[in-house]
Amino acid sequence: MKDICFATNNAHKLEEVRIILGGRFNVLSLKQVDFAGELPETHETIEENSLEKAEYLFDKLGIPVFSEDSGLEVDALNGRPGVHTAHYAGDRNAIRNMDKVISELSNESDRSAQFRAVITYMDESGPRQFEGIIKGAIAPEKMGEDGFGYDPIFIPEGYDQTFAELSAATKNTMSHRKRSVEKLAQFLNSLN
Ligand code: IMP
């Protein structure tokens, strides 16, 4: 099985991606490749931050790597929190982040939103990017305990429960991460 390093310090993302790619690729964590530092995220777009993380890690390790940058884009907020999703309320506190979005939508009838993920695969041939989107709506309040980040306030299209109420297996059939990772898997398979 091909080894590939996932450039993330987010344990939830690592777990989701391992389940999606499990059995097909051996997804190495940063710990497994003895990388202990922070990954840079200095740009104002998800695409650029994703590219920056992959380039940085490939430069350090010299083995095939992929990174993932993702965010919640709310229509009535002109795409915010977007690239600032992880620390929208000032720090990385998921409850405060969600409360901020709920409060900003308090007078809005349009609650449509999407999660978007951009994966960058990088090897000696250069970078390749793969996007995944799941459309849905922001719930009126936080609902459900599972998942991470904004899962308790995101209701995917076609469902009436949030990602945090749906099972992890159900989320993994449709999420932005699943969709971007499947494109990566197809690309990796085409290399062989
Ligand atoms: P990043 O680590 O800079 O890509 O930050 C992305 C942020 O988006 C995460 O910290 C979460 O807050 C949020 N996010 C990304 N994917 C998901 C998801 O699947 N569920 C809930 N929140 C997510």
pLDDT digits (tens, 9 = 90+) for 33-87: 999 989 999 999 999 999 999 999 999 999 999 999 999 999 999 999 999 999 9
Q: Is position 69 annotated as part of the catalytic site?
A: yes
**Does ligand 1 have an atom closer than 6 angstroms to the CB of 8?**
no
Q: What is the DSSP string of 95-164?
A: HHHHHHHHHHTTT-S--EEEEEEEEEEEETTEEEEEEEEEEEEE-SS---SSSSTTGGGEEETT-SS-TT
Q: What is the pLDDT of residues 83-100, one digit of tens each?
A: 999 999 999 999 999 999
Determine phi and psi for 71, rounding to 5 degrees.
Answer: -165, 165
Q: What percent of the chain has pLDDT over 90?
A: 93
**Does ligand 1 have an atom closer than 6 angstroms to the CB of 71?**
yes
Cα 70 to ligand 1 centre (Å): 6
Q: Which residues of 96-131 are buried (b: 16+ CB within 10 A; e: fewer)?
A: ebbbbbbebbeeeeebebbbbbbbbbbbeeeebbbe
CB-CB neighbours of 185 under 10 Å: 15
Cα 83 to ligand 1 centre (Å): 10
Q: Would you say residue 192 has pLDDT above 70?
A: no
**Does ligand 1 have an atom closer than 6 angstroms to the CB of 85?**
yes
